[in-house]
Amino acid sequence: DQQVKQNSPSLSVQEGRISILNCDYTNSMFDYFLWYKKYPAEGPTFLISISSIKDKNEDGRFTVFLNKSAKHLSLHIVPSQPGDSAVYFCAASAQRGSTLGRLYFGRGTQLTVWP
Amino acid sequence: DGGITQSPKYLFRKEGQNVTLSCEQNLNHDAMYWYRQDPGQGLRLIYYSQIVNDFQKGDIAEGYSVSREKKESFPLTVTSAQKNPTAFYLCASKLSGTVAVMEKLFFGSGTQLSVL
């Protein structure tokens, strides 16, 4: 049963515009959320994270928003650049309980930024 | 230069053969993880180890085995019982295994395993 869901397998955006990637989760114990970026045949690299005590975290062109009541988070990339084209994974973890520290990943969204 | 090293980059397995994927880290991390990536499936957890000499099954452990004899090393063996081993395998680590700290995972560059 997928506890972290990324319902859009792909997203195509023009360079300079905003990219919005969405993620939903079902486990109310999750209190730490991360986004990873992955290029083909490489390992994922960490992009940005947010804890459940916040509703927004910003790092340069990347902003993550968390809506706890809706169990939803989103990653905004502004402005989008061709180099942002990659698969983006949403991940979540719980700092309490039997799954302490384990990360659960969504299936990923392939972002394509075209000139 | 600290990091996670996975080897080999590409590996081929013959029918009925066991193969071992190497994962070494020099980050002094307690916890290590093995994930499998299939197209459209995202990252699925095979095994993880929160501390030396201890490991737990993840969601898809059948057909795989691991050991954690040293802090730096967490090799994954794909046994002949794994009927569909073709995938991209990722090793990861993080600093704390048993302490409740919000930490990110660091990933290696992956091993692509294919069946001959």
The string of pLDDT tens digits covering residues B75-116 is 999 999 888 999 999 999 998 866 666 778 999 999 999 988
Token pair 């929160």 is found at B50
The string of pLDDT tens digits covering residues A33-61 is 999 999 998 999 999 999 999 999 999 99
Average pLDDT score over chain B: 91
* Nearest-CB residue to B40 (from A9, A49, A96): A9
pLDDT of residue B91: 97
**DSSP string of B6-35?**
EE-SEEEE-TT--EEEEEEE-S--SEEEEE
Q: Give me Rg for the CA atoms of chain B.
A: 13
Return the residue in B107, B109, B114 with the most chain A beta carbons within 10 A, the one to mutate for interface testing.
Answer: B107
Query: What's at A20, amino acid-wise?
Result: I
Query: What's at A44, amino acid-wise?
Result: P
- Of B55, B63, B13, B11, residue with least CA distance to B30: B55
Please indicate if any CB of chain A lies within 8 Å of the CB of B101: yes
pLDDT of residue B116: 81
pLDDT of residue B15: 83
* Nearest-CB residue to B31 (from A41, A91, A101): A101
* Nearest-CB residue to A43 (from B48, B94, B107): B107
